[in-house]
């Protein structure tokens, strides 16, 4: 096993945590990124695999073995990367084309797989991630709602506000005004 797929990696801190575990267990790696590790050599020792599985599980991660679970995690990682780590430009993309292209699979297959595994559609997952990103951007107090709507590829502030309220029960303005008393952002790995 030279490539490892890890569930619940959603941010740079997760990457750092996995790198630390690999270093502690003397497992040399070429690359660690959200949901994925490429080791320098094949990991074939079952005791080492189980030790790694146990250690990362204690940190809230899960080593994936099933190919379908790996695909679902790749879908989530693709979405999170585009929404949270896309360097300030507007998303403006066709999600189905992007996901199909990045994962080299038919989108209808990926969509059905995701829905059966996660109990929600890819589209709903994207909306929930975008709302989490909107919460984060609102909390920074650096961008206007119009800028946030543009960055997250909403057609208008009204569209952002509508989805935001449906998911959080607050408008973005109410959220911004009452950030000390409104519910905080969710952990990205718990957003479904």
CB 108 within 8 A of CB 99: no
Q: Which residues contact 127 (CB under 8 A, 6 or more apart)?
A: 163, 167
Nearest to 33 by CA among 54, 16, 57, 50: 16
The pLDDT value recorded for residue 30 is 96
- Strand, coil or helix: 172: helix
Return the C-alpha torsion angle 87, 75, 161, 119, nearest 10.
-160
Distance CA 110, CA 138 (A): 32
Assess whether pLDDT exceeds 80 at residue 183: no
Give the per-residue pLDDT at 179. 72
DSSP-derived 3-state class of residue 50: helix
In the numeric block, which tokens belong to residue 23? 């270093």
Contact status, residue 65 vs residue 7, Cβ threshold 8 Å: no
Domains of the chain: 3-65 (3.30.70), 69-190 (1.10.10.60)
Task: Tell me what the mean pLDDT of segment 90-97 comes to.
Answer: 79
**pLDDT classification of 70: cutoffs 50, 70, 90:** very high
pLDDT above 60: residue 115? yes
- Name the pTM for this structure: 0.82
Contact call for residues 150 and 157 (beta carbons, < 8 A): no
Average pLDDT, the chain: 90
Task: Pull the structure tokens for residue 145.
Answer: 């709602």
- The confidence band for 1, taking pLDDT boundaries of 50, 70 and 90, is confident
pLDDT exceeds 80 at position 122: yes
Residue 164 CB coordination number (10 Å): 27
Helix, strand, coil fractions of the chain, as percent rounded to 5? 60, 10, 35
What span, in angstroms and rounded, lies between the C-alpha atoms of 34 and 11?
Answer: 7
Average pLDDT value for residue range 156-171: 95
Greatest CA separation for the chain? 55
- The Cα–Cα gap between 11 and 31 comes to 15
**Res. 49: pLDDT tops 80:** yes
Intra-chain end-to-end CA distance of the chain, in Å: 29
Which has the minimum average pLDDT: 71-75, 86-90, 134-138? 86-90
Instruction: Specify the pLDDT at position 178.
Output: 82
């Amino acid at each position: 096993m030279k490539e490892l797929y890890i569930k619940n990696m959603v941010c740079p801190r997760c990457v750092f945590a996995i790198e630390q575990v690999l270093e502690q267990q003397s497992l040399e790696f070429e690359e660690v990124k959200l949901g994925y590790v490429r080791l320098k050599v094949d990991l074939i020792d079952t005791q080492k695999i189980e030790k790694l599985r146990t250690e990362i599980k204690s940190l809230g991660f899960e080593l994936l073995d099933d190919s379908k679970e790996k695909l679902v995690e790749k879908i989530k990682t693709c979405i999170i990367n585009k929404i949270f780590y896309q360097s300030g430009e507007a998303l403006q993309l066709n999600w189905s084309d992007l996901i199909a292209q990045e994962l080299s699979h038919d989108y209808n297959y990926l969509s059905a797989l995701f829905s059966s595994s996660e109990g929600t559609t890819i589209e709903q997952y994207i909306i929930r991630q975008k709302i989490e990103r909107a919460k984060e951007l609102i909390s920074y107090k650096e961008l206007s709602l119009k800028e946030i709507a543009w960055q997250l590829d909403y057609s208008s502030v009204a569209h952002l506000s509508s989805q935001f309220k449906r998911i959080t029960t607050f408008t973005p303005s109410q959220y911004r005004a009452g950030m000390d008393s409104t519910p905080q952002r969710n952990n990205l790995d718990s957003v479904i």
